Homo-oligomer: A and B are copies of this chain.
Amino acid sequence: MAKRAKAASDSLASLGEKGLLPLLTGTWKTDKDVVLVGVGDDAAVLRGEGKNHFLILKTDAVIESVHFTAQASPGLIGRKALTRALSDLAAMGALPLAAVITLGVPANESVRRLRAIYAGLEATAQRYAVNLVGGETTRAKQLFLNVALLGECRGYAPVLRSGARPGDLIYVTGRLGGSQAKRHLTFEPRLAEGRWLARNEMATALMDLSDGLGADLPRLAEASGVGFLVDPAALPKSRGVTAQAAMNEGEDYELLFTIKSSNAKSFKKKWPFTTPVHCIGVVERRGRQSRRAPLAHGFDHFKQR
């Protein structure tokens, strides 16, 4: 009780953003007839019609001087606003249906720049077959775009973070690291790959890499109640990137997933994409004694049991 009161008086700076969300959302309760997955996965899952239909809901924002600089190409700002949210739908194996956009805009903003941002947004929506169906604008001190996305899984189930089991193999798409310098505005959300993994019941667990493998893999492991062991030599690094950067830099927007070892051969054979895919490690049991141990982010010993 005293501990809780203390936490409540802490400033955000000392708490950290990652500590904030559980504090704000930890008491949320949902109607099990409507909601299958709430806070904690890449996106929420609601029951659709019948057994094999699921609605997927996601919200995400990009903010000037946080997610892009004032100098960034306006078209790419619009692109990133949508592709970040699309990457989360990819991480469920979902097909995107429609997006609604909130624009927060400073009074002195250039209309020409806003139109260029929206041109990028619209081109990206067309590219990934997303319907833009709602747009709100509001005054704000700092330019931001919030994208809320509705998607679905029809005829198959979404893949959650929580399905990894000891013995499963761990994979990533693409190459890791160097995104903040080169790709954070132009990455491809792995929508087709994510849907394929879900529809073919290949992946036992699936998420996208937004904060870096070193932060995100422990989240998948935590959700699944497992440990893991990563082989440093197997990490697919972007050109000119150190192993540390590949592990911790973030903004990769690649898929991280696990596959039953008995399916590994068939998976590699059937993978129909040119997108590279690499096995980087194995899921292990989580030992009772290390369950509450701090997560190991260091590269040399990137394992957690």
Q: Does A174 contact B (CB under 8 A)?
A: no
Q: Which of A66, A110, A115, A148 has the most CB of B within 10 A?
A: A148
Q: A34-B97, A66-B138, A140-B66 are in contact. Are A55 and B150 (CB under 8 A)?
A: yes
Q: A66-B139, A100-B148, A148-B148 are in contact. Are A134 and B58 (CB under 8 A)?
A: yes
Contact B46 A133 (CB under 8 A): yes
Q: Does A144 contact B (CB under 8 A)?
A: yes
Q: A103-B24, A109-B12 are in contact. Are A57 and B148 (CB under 8 A)?
A: yes
Interface size range of chain A in the complex: 35 or more
Q: How far is the CA of A192 from the CA of B84 in the complex (A)?
A: 36
Q: How far is the CA of A43 from the CA of B148 in the complex (A)?
A: 13
User: Of all chain B residues, which has the CB nearest A55?
Assistant: B150
Task: Select which of B9, B44, B133 is within 8 A of A111 by beta carbon.
Answer: B9
Contact B102 A39 (CB under 8 A): no
Q: How distant is A207 from chain B, measured CB to nearest CB, in Å? A: 15
Contact A148 B59 (CB under 8 A): yes
A85-108 residues at the B interface, CB under 8 angstroms: 97-98, 100-108
Write the A105-125 contact mask toward B (1 if CB under 8 angstroms, else 0): 111111110110010001001
Contact B25 A100 (CB under 8 A): no
A1-47 residues at the B interface, CB under 8 angstroms: 7-13, 15, 17, 20-21, 23-25, 27-28, 30-31, 34-35, 37-39, 43-44, 46
User: Of all chain B residues, which has the CB nearest A112?
Assistant: B8
Task: Select which of B13, B98, B105, B115 is within 8 A of A23 by beta carbon.
Answer: B115
Task: Select which of B17, B27, B133 is within 8 A of A57 by beta carbon.
Answer: B133
Q: A61-B136, A139-B66, A148-B59 are in contact. Are A12 and B98 (CB under 8 A)?
A: no
Contact B146 A61 (CB under 8 A): yes
Point out the residues of chain B lying under 8 angstroms from A131, CB to CB: 30-31, 34-35, 38, 46
Contact A135 B21 (CB under 8 A): yes
Point out the residues of chain B lying under 8 angstroms from A132, CB to CB: 25, 28, 30, 38-39
Q: How far is the CA of A61 from the CA of B55 in the complex (A)?
A: 23
Q: A49-B49, A110-B11, A141-B142 are in contact. Are A135 and B24 (CB under 8 A)?
A: yes
Point out the residues of chain B lying under 8 angstroms from A150, CB to CB: 46, 55, 57, 150
Task: Select which of B31, B57, B98 is within 8 A of A46 by beta carbon.
Answer: B98
Q: How far is the CA of A20 from the CA of B103 in the complex (A)?
A: 11
Q: How far is the CA of A23 from the CA of B108 in the complex (A)?
A: 17
Q: How far is the CA of A37 from the CA of B13 in the complex (A)?
A: 43
Contact A108 B148 (CB under 8 A): no
Q: Which of A11, A12, A15, A97 has the most CB of B within 10 A?
A: A12
By Cβ-Cβ distance, the 3 closest A-B pairs, closest first, are A148-B148, A44-B133, A59-B100
